[in-house]
Amino acid sequence: MILGTENGWLSNCEYILEEEWWTPTPLLPTQVIGQRLGIDLWLKREDSTPIGSFKLRGALVCMDTLSSGLPKAGVYVASAGNYGIAIAVAGRRRRIPVKVFVPVGATPSKIERIRLSGATLITVGDDFDTAKSAARDAAIEDGAVFWEDGVVPQMSHGAATIGTEILRQGDEWDLVLVPLGNGSLIKGVATAFKSQSPRTRVIGLVPSGAPSMAQAMLGQTWCGSRVDTYADGLAVRIPILPIIEELKTLVDEVWVVDESKLLPAVKSLLELEQIVAEPSAAISLAGLFDHRDQICGKKVVAILTGSLLDMALIHKVLGGDALL
């Protein structure tokens, strides 16, 4: 069954994922950071999935609902890392061939995980959007299916289960913080919250080194020339405009977080909570730090989207300052 956006699709997605031994992922209060920020801060630990990121949810929904109609050439995707790993793992489970296109300079540890997952790896282009264009062209030429993250609706359906798991713990959340990349994560989570807890404000976070999603959401002209960010999972140069229009009705606010705060946020999570988070996940802490005067006393949940760091970045984090 291909899941639609009609009433009930959230529960359908839950049914698929309840068979997985690792769901629901932990939802835990912070021990130190929340107190220092003056808020009741909880983390939804998507770093606890078997691949270390939230992307596996949507990838499994894609493979479980779409695999019967796929061509022999299989599925082609473009990824900065986590999406490619997720589709590769889900494809291996369904014995579907997967080819992943990654940009030059992609995180080495993520590239190795893609290889180990059994996918064919193609390195092309200077950034994610160039790799995406190459993957789309190759899929047409080879007779494969191209699944664009943010566009394939099943990715959002999988992400929505994160929201429903949080809301099982109650709906007394003032804010839910969601890193904003291509949009599938925040679309799914926001849909769940707007359906079940409309009072909760949905906040998207983008890095200042890749601001195009925020610019598009605010109706501003986005340059789309280049990105330069530690948050590789949020390194969007060219927004998907139909997704932007959908998000405008779901997302209450977008925070642009300065690049200089990302690695210090990673270090603070490591030192104060003993959590390894990649910059794309730690951006939520950086955003809370920047808005701490506005959120005092609030009950906040932040989605910790992933934990895959390469050794060079770990050394850089350890040698730098903490945010808190």
What tens digit of pLDDT does each residue of 149-206 get?
Answer: 989 999 999 999 999 999 999 999 999 999 999 999 999 999 999 999 999 999 999 9
For residues 201 and 307, membership in a common domain is answered with: yes
Least confident piece of the model among 1-10, 90-99, 102-111, 216-225: 1-10
Cα separation of 208 and 317, whole Å? 19
Q: Is residue 323 included in any domain, yes or no?
A: no
pLDDT classification of 99: cutoffs 50, 70, 90: very high
> Same domain, yes or no, for 20 and 86?
no
Task: Judge whether 276 lies within some domain.
Answer: yes
Q: Are strands 253-257 and 201-207 parallel, antiparallel or unpaired?
A: parallel
Q: Is the residue at 283 inside a domain?
A: yes
Whether 179 and 296 share a structural domain? yes
**Judgement on whether residues 47 and 188 belong to the same structural domain of the protein:** yes
- The answer to whether residue 2 is domain-embedded is no
Residues 131 and 257 in one domain: no
Say if residue 101 is in the same domain as residue 164. Answer: no
**How many structural domains are present in the chain?**
2
Of residues 168 and 223, more confidence is placed in 168
Q: What is the pLDDT of residue 259?
A: 97
Judged against a pLDDT cut of 60, whether residue 281 lies above it is answered with yes
Find out whether the peptide bond into 239 is cis, omega within 30 degrees of 0: no
Domain limits at 109?
55-146
DSSP symbol at 113: H
At residue 3 the predicted structure's pLDDT band, cuts being 50, 70 and 90, is very low
160 and 228: one domain? yes
130 with 192, same domain: the answer is no
Q: Is the pLDDT of residue 86 over 80?
A: yes
CA pair distance 33, 194, nearest whole angstrom:
27
For 77, phi then psi, to 5°, come to: -140, 160
Q: Report the distance separating Cα 318 and Cα 173, nearest Å.
A: 33
DSSP H or E stretch at residue 75: strand 75-78
Same domain, 114 and 172: no
Q: The whole model's pTM is what?
A: 0.92
Would the pLDDT of 262 be above 90?
yes
Q: Is residue 37 located within the same domain as residue 169?
A: yes
Distance in angstroms (rounded) separating the CA atoms of residues 135 and 106: 15
The answer to the question of residue 256 being in a domain is yes
Structural domain includes residue 141: yes
pLDDT of residue 257: 98
pLDDT above 90 for 229: yes
Residues 43 and 137 in one domain: no
* Residue that is last in its domain, among 96, 128, 146: 146
Where does a domain end: 124, 146, 168? Answer: 146
Which runs of consecutive H residues, i.e. helices, occur in the chain? 9-17, 33-37, 55-66, 82-94, 108-116, 128-142, 153-167, 184-196, 212-217, 241-248, 262-273, 279-290, 311-318
Residue 151 lies in a domain: no
Q: Which of 122, 146, 170 is the last residue of a domain?
A: 146
Query: 210 in a domain, yes or no?
Result: yes
Residue 69's pLDDT band, with cuts at 50, 70 and 90, is: confident
> Is the domain of 282 the same as that of 220?
yes
CATH number of the domain where residue 21 is located: 3.40.50.1100
pLDDT at 225 (0 to 100): 67
